[in-house]
Structure 1
């Protein structure tokens, strides 16, 4: 299974945190790509990373929300697209 397939399944099934993690690693850190095998995420699920990753994801979520609000404003003006893997 690829990252893209996992992301689409997670979005379909309502796994918001997994979608956020994938978006963070792909868009913000650029350490994974949609065509990578989903097993690359195993590294980031290690217990030693939980606390810090949660901090990163909380900050990224705030940034993402601000980006979505800006995109919504632009969309009203006829610009912008925030669909990462479509």
Structure 2
């Protein structure tokens, strides 16, 4: 039997919905960053929700992904 996943991020766009799961805060954040960057390249708006065992970890992941969204917006505005 496998261990339950500790963290889950649901990422939604106008065209797709994805669920990312990982046992650690770092792993799930890296998976989400990769997906957010790919989706943003297609010009889609991104929304996300996060669940996990720690409010502090959820807050850190949320802040990290918000910074990624700001970064990709800035980069695309320059092009």
TM-score, normalised relative to structure 2: 0.37
TM-score, normalised relative to structure 1: 0.34
Structure (1/2) with the larger helix percentage = 1
Larger radius of gyration between Structure 1 and Structure 2: 1
